[in-house]
A and B are shown apart, each in its own frame.
Chain A
Amino acid sequence: MPRYELALILKAMQRPETAAALRRTVETLMERGAVVRDLENLGQRLLPYKMTKHNQRHSTGAYFLVDFYAAPSILDGLLDHLHRDVDVVRPAVLRKDERAPDSSCCGPPP
């Protein structure tokens, strides 16, 4: 199964509510048949710009990173669910590639 990364920006809330939101998200993932590998917290940070979601203006957010293995067919449904979740400011699912980068430094190839 391919490996994905969910970069999640949650609303700035108290600790129990954040925990509840995270638990909800991970349980949704597991219901859809994903295997959650790891959960990382990137801290509560100032957002790069003010974002409006669910009729609320956010200037700070809590950044979380969820690695999981999943089938590609669930991603649409998952993103839809996350967009509708009130506590989620911005979800983003990215794919993790196993290959190492070919050139040692970034930039256009010679």
Chain B
Amino acid sequence: MFRVISGRSVQAARLLAPRNAVLVEAVRGRKSRTDPVAKSKVGRIKVPPPVDPVEMLVLKERYSEYELIMRALRLEFKEEVLRKKYEEETGSQAEERARQEEEEHRALINWNDEENLRMLKARILRVQKEEEEAERKKMEAAIQREQQLEESIRLREKEILQLQEEAKNFITLENLDQRIEDALDNPKNYNFAVDKEGKVVKRTVLQ
């Protein structure tokens, strides 16, 4: 029968309703169009609420004045906004500001270029120095390596010479017999004794 409405159409109807009420609208509920009218509602004539003409007039005038004023204010404000926007884009200050911005921009770009140049020079110097360092280190490393190689060659030659010297005393098939006789004649004794003072004594007896 009555339904609560809420939505976009509500906003306009809300102005006429009391502030705290819920908005309802009439809706076909239980009965359809073809059902007979109820007995209690048989002679009912819907009558709109009575209107007082004087009050109506006064209200109409007041409302029209009010709306006039409101509309004027709104238009004033809109015009102000548009004017400000226009001034912003094409006013007298706009050119000066644009010029100043451009000067600033150019100055900054120049400064940036100079900085880049400076960094470039510094970088070139640094890279050159590093290259020289690397070259020097490589040379030093090469020299070191050569020196070590020479050192090792010298050591090995010394060893070879020493071995050649010792090789003269090695046992061969010819001196085998002689060496065996020598060995059997000279028994060697590696035993020794040490006392607390550190004196080494080698005259231990072979059993």
**Residues on A close to B: CB < 8 A?**
15, 18-19, 22-23, 26-27, 30, 35-46, 64
A-side interface mostly? strand
Known: A37-B166, A38-B171. A18 touches B184 (CB 8 A): yes
Instruction: Kindly list chain B residues whose C-beta atoms are within 8 Å of the C-beta of A30.
Output: 173
| Interface assignment of B23: CB less than 8 Å from any CB of chain A | no
A43, B189: Cβ atoms closer than 8 Å: yes
The winner among B180, B186, B189 for most chain A CB atoms within 10 A is: B180
> What separation, in Å, do the CA atoms of A42 and B207 have in the docked complex?
11
| Interface assignment of B86: CB less than 8 Å from any CB of chain A | no
Instruction: Kindly list chain B residues whose C-beta atoms are within 8 Å of the C-beta of A43.
Output: 187-189, 206
Per-position 1/0 for B152-182, Cβ under 8 A of A: 0000000000000010011101001101110
Instruction: Kindly list chain A residues whose C-beta atoms are within 8 Å of the C-beta of B184.
Output: 15, 18-19, 41
> What separation, in Å, do the CA atoms of A40 and B176 have in the docked complex?
13
> What separation, in Å, do the CA atoms of A37 and B179 have in the docked complex?
11
> What separation, in Å, do the CA atoms of A27 and B172 have in the docked complex?
9
> What separation, in Å, do the CA atoms of A38 and B187 have in the docked complex?
13
